[in-house]
Structures are given as C-alpha cells and as structure tokens.
Amino acid sequence: MTAQPEASSPAPVPVSSGIGKLLIVPSLIGGLVAVALGIYGRLHSPTGVVVNIAGFTSAGYVKSWLATIATVFAVVQVISALVMYGKIPRVTAPSWIGMLHQWSGRIAFLVAVPVAVNCLYALGFQTYSTRVLIHSLLGCAFFGAFTVKMLILPKRGLPGWALPVAGAVVFTLLVGLWFTSAFWFFSTFGIHR
C-alpha cells in the first residue's frame, strides 16, 4: 500500500538501443495517460452526479463493490503469474493458466474502468486528506501503468524482469487504490449494498 505516484514511468533507460526502445515509448505513453487523467480530474469541476444501479443504495457502494471485484481478480492475476513463472513449488502450470491470467486481467481492468470514470467525473482529483491525495495519485498511476503493461506485453526481446515488474507495479497500485477507497468506505459506512 505504499504510494508510488509516478510508477508509470519506471523505464530503466539502458544505453543499448533495442531494449530501451522497447520500454521507453510505452512508458512515455503510460506516463501521458496518467498525467492526462490527473489533469482532467483536476480541471473538470466535479459534478457529484453519478449513475446508480438498482439494488444499491448509491453509487458509492457500487464503486466499492466493483473495486473489490477488480482487486479479487488482481489477486488471481498474481497467483496465476506466479504459477506461470514456476514460482510456486510443486505446482506445474496447467494448460489453461495463460487463459486464466489473461481473462482475470481483462475483467479486473474492465471492472475498474467504470469506477475510475465515476471517480474522475463525479469527484475529480482531490487533495483534501492524505487518503484522498494518495488515492488520486494511485488512480492516475494505475491506468498509466496498466497502459505500459499492455503495450509492452506483445513485444519480443524484453528483459525477463520487465513483465513481472510491470505486473507487480500494476497490482501494487490497484491494491493501494482498494485500501484507500473501498476498504475505507466499507469500514466507515458499513458493508452492505
């Protein structure tokens, strides 16, 4: 749950051209995504108007549950990645592990998107408390970092640590987001719909 504000640009800038190019451009794009989200959240005046879904008392709970779902799938991400990399003793990767990893990631991301839009549109980038500031920074950084991960994913010739580091950063940011939002929300207002 450590704050890693600009985690989206961790490019190591190696002098050798190949690897550098592979990582620098995606990192720059990811950084732009993060900054753009932050600027939008800061400049757009929050409306407070949110779409609610039947069965929930308000959008705050919708968001908290969606964020929790995304975080659960993110945990699946880490476990499936560990299995794929053979890091869990005596567990050999089953054939479907790649599929599980891909789809859990996609679902986590797609579930997180409406939450982020809601946050940015209705609440904006805020700084009125430590929690809110950290959450705002993490939120922007998360989508930047995720963009980097998606952009470098298909590249050949990446150093071996690149994807694990990118994945770890994305996961850490998401868990930090969850703790500064849904966890806080549930513990303050109670766990229900």
CB-based burial, 78-95: b 16+ in 10 Å, e otherwise: bbbbebeeeeeeeeebee
Torsion of CA 139, 140, 145, 146, to 10 degrees: 70
Stretch that binds other proteins, among 71-79, 86-94, 165-173, 184-192 (CB under 8 A): 184-192
**Structure tokens, 189:** 């207002």
Spell out, one character per residue from 59 to 98, where the chain touches other proteins: x when CB under 8 A holds, - when not.
Answer: xxx-------------------------------------
Binders of other proteins: how many residues, by CB under 8 A? 48
Give SS3 for 57. Answer: coil
2 vs 57 by CB, closer to other proteins: 57
Spell out, one character per residue from 146 to 175, where the chain touches other proteins: x when CB under 8 A holds, - when not.
Answer: -x--xx-xx---------------------
Give just the sign of the alpha carbon dihedral 87, 92, 96, 100. Answer: negative
The residues in 109-128 that bind other proteins, with binding defined as CB under 8 A, are 109-110, 113-114, 116-118, 121-123, 126, 128
19-23: which pairs have CB atoms within 8 A and are 24 or more residues apart? 19/157, 19/158, 19/159, 22/152, 22/155, 22/157, 22/158, 22/162, 23/152, 23/158, 23/162
Stretch that binds other proteins, among 14-22, 46-54, 77-85, 159-167 (CB under 8 A): 46-54
Give the interface with other proteins as residue ranges (CB under 8 A). Answer: 45-61, 102, 105-106, 109-110, 113-114, 116-118, 121-123, 126, 128-132, 147, 150-151, 153-154, 184-185, 187-190, 192
